[in-house]
């Protein structure tokens, strides 16, 4: 019979995975083709399980927290996130396609771009309360 991992060890493992996810998410802000939001959402889920203190810190972060909170609360992203994210996706893929020399890689990157950008555009955009028709 195998022993189960004790709770403090599980917490440490969740926190390590959460920290790595935050690092990858932040690196993804500037590195082409590395996504930011999925890693931040993974970090939030890991910290939720591993450390309420780290989870609270991530949600309170002025730049990272609102994106996670919108997703947690509304399963949507803010309009500004949609614009910035779309621009970064387009620019990073365009740069990557320009820099690679193989036509097969260019085609693969283009197809990956189409898939990721299509998925990204399907994420609902959070509407402000003032946009609701009952407020007009």
Taking Cα atoms as reference points, which of 9, 64, 60 lies closest to residue 42? 64
**Is residue 108 a contact partner of residue 74, using CB atoms and an 8 Å limit?**
no
pTM exceeds 0.85 for this model:
no
Measured from the Cβ of residue 124, the count of other Cβ atoms closer than 10 Å reads: 11
Question: How many helices (H) does the chain have, and how many strands (E)?
Answer: 6, 0
How sure is the predictor about 136, in pLDDT bands with cuts at 50, 70 and 90?
A: very low
Measured from the Cβ of residue 15, the count of other Cβ atoms closer than 10 Å reads: 19
- 16: Cα within 13 Å, side-chain hemisphere: 6
pLDDT digits (tens, 9 = 90+) for 18-44: 999 999 989 988 876 777 888 888 999
**Residue 135 scores a pLDDT above 80:** no
pLDDT for 43 equals 93
pLDDT for 5 equals 54
**Residue 15 scores a pLDDT above 50:** yes
Q: What are the residues whose beta carbons fall under 8 Å from the beta carbon of 5, sequence distance 6 or more? A: 13
Q: How far apart are CA 136 and CA 125, in angstroms?
A: 20
**Is residue 106 a contact partner of residue 93, using CB atoms and an 8 Å limit?**
no
Mutual angle of helices 7-30 and 37-50, in 10-degree steps: 160
pLDDT for 1 equals 47
Average pLDDT score, the chain: 86
């Amino acid at each position: 019979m195998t022993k189960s991992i004790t709770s403090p060890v599980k917490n440490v493992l969740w926190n390590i995975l959460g920290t790595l996810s935050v690092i990858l998410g932040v690196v993804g802000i500037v590195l082409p083709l590395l996504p930011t939001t999925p890693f931040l959402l993974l970090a939030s889920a890991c910290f939720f399980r591993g450390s309420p203190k780290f989870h609270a810190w991530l949600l309170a972060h002025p730049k990272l927290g609102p994106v996670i909170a919108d997703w947690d609360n509304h399963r949507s992203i803010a309009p500004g996130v949609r614009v910035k994210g779309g621009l970064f996706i387009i620019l990073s893929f365009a740069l990557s396609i320009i820099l690679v020399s193989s036509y097969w890689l260019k085609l693969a990157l283009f197809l990956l771009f189409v898939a990721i950008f299509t998925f990204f555009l399907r994420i609902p955009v959070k509407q402000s309360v003032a946009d609701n028709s009952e407020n007009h």
